[in-house]
Chains A and B, each alone.
Chain A
């Protein structure tokens, strides 16, 4: 593959950021969910 460094950097950063954002969102949601009363979580 030509320009492999550029291509793999693009994919690595894109998917790395996505995975990071998803993990951060799930963790933040679980942490807050323990602290907030059920009446403030209408989706549960």
Chain B
């Protein structure tokens, strides 16, 4: 493979192509299964079709914020303070914020059908909105400037505090009286009351969106690595120019 071909590849690798393809197949099934092949719900009718995208996007948002927390902890604990961990944390938070936004939107539309309103200050909705805003703040702090190590230090502290919101959001339906239903698949008694094809589509959707998350984080952390490299080389050029000016 020539150098030019490698440059055109961008940030993809054979491995990312494989799980990109896996995500494409799984999401294709969610689209077809969710809209056409799965039966309507006995109570909710066709509104239940929103579940096949609402639940996986919420799952990916949780997963993304957990990955951000774990990667930040690894950066903080590691003796080398590897920026690779910080980039994974940042890339994961970016993806998480996008998916959390989609969760809020799909939940709002679903709520309009089942509850009669787009929004209510219910414990689950309120804590979710709070978590969404927290991670937007996290991304804003990452963009404040300074060196990559400074960025990693301040954002890792916020990530480790923000990740504590996840159990609060997840158990909000148990701790307080909530309009939002409790967990169906992850119910404590393990009794899943759902049609087989509906359950398969939901779980396959969770799998597909998770693989998509892995694809996005792989690519976005490589983009961040290139942005950091660009910033470092620009800084090196500026320093050498000032030194030359001083010598002249």
A residues engaging B (CB < 8 A)?
Answer: 1-4, 6-7, 9-11, 13-15, 17-18, 21-22, 25-26, 28-30, 32-38, 40-41, 43-44
Contacting A at CB under 8 A, from B8-27, are 8-13, 27
Contacts of A29 in B (CB 8 A): 10-12, 219, 222-223, 226
- Those 10 A-B pairs whose CB atoms lie nearest each other, nearest first: A29-B10, A29-B11, A40-B229, A30-B10, A32-B226, A36-B226, A14-B53, A10-B106, A1-B46, A6-B109
Q: Bound state CA distance, A18 and B233, in angstroms?
A: 32
> Given the known A-B contacts A6-B50, A25-B219, A40-B225, are A34 and B109 also in contact in the complex, defined by CB atoms under 8 Å?
no
Q: Whole-angstrom distance from the CB of B52 to the nearest CB of chain A?
A: 9
Cβ contact within 8 Å between A6 and B47: yes
Cβ contact within 8 Å between A25 and B223: yes
Q: Is the interface of A mostly helix, strand, loop or mixed?
A: helix
Q: Bound state CA distance, A30 and B226, in angstroms?
A: 11
Q: Whole-angstrom distance from the CB of A15 to the nearest CB of chain B?
A: 7
Q: Bound state CA distance, A34 and B46, in angstroms?
A: 47
User: Which chain B residue has the least Cβ–Cβ distance from A40?
Assistant: B229
Cβ contact within 8 Å between A14 and B12: no
Q: Whole-angstrom distance from the CB of A35 to the nearest CB of chain B?
A: 7
CB<8 Å pairs between A and B, sample of 15: A4-B46, A6-B110, A10-B53, A18-B27, A18-B212, A29-B11, A29-B219, A30-B8, A33-B7, A33-B9, A33-B11, A36-B230, A38-B7, A43-B13, A44-B6
Contacts of A4 in B (CB 8 A): 46
Q: Is the interface of B mostly helix, strand, loop or mixed?
A: helix
Cβ contact within 8 Å between B46 and A26: no
Cβ contact within 8 Å between A33 and B10: yes
Contacts of B46 in A (CB 8 A): 1-4, 7
Of B9, B27, B53, B223, which is within 8 A of A44 by CB? B9
Does chain A have a CB within 8 A of B194?
Answer: no
User: Which chain B residue has the least Cβ–Cβ distance from A31?
Assistant: B10
Q: Bound state CA distance, A25 and B50, in angstroms?
A: 26
Does chain A have a CB within 8 A of B220?
Answer: yes
User: Which chain A residue has the least Cβ–Cβ distance from B114?
Assistant: A3
- The residue among A14, A21, A44 with the most chain B CB atoms within 10 A of its own CB is A14
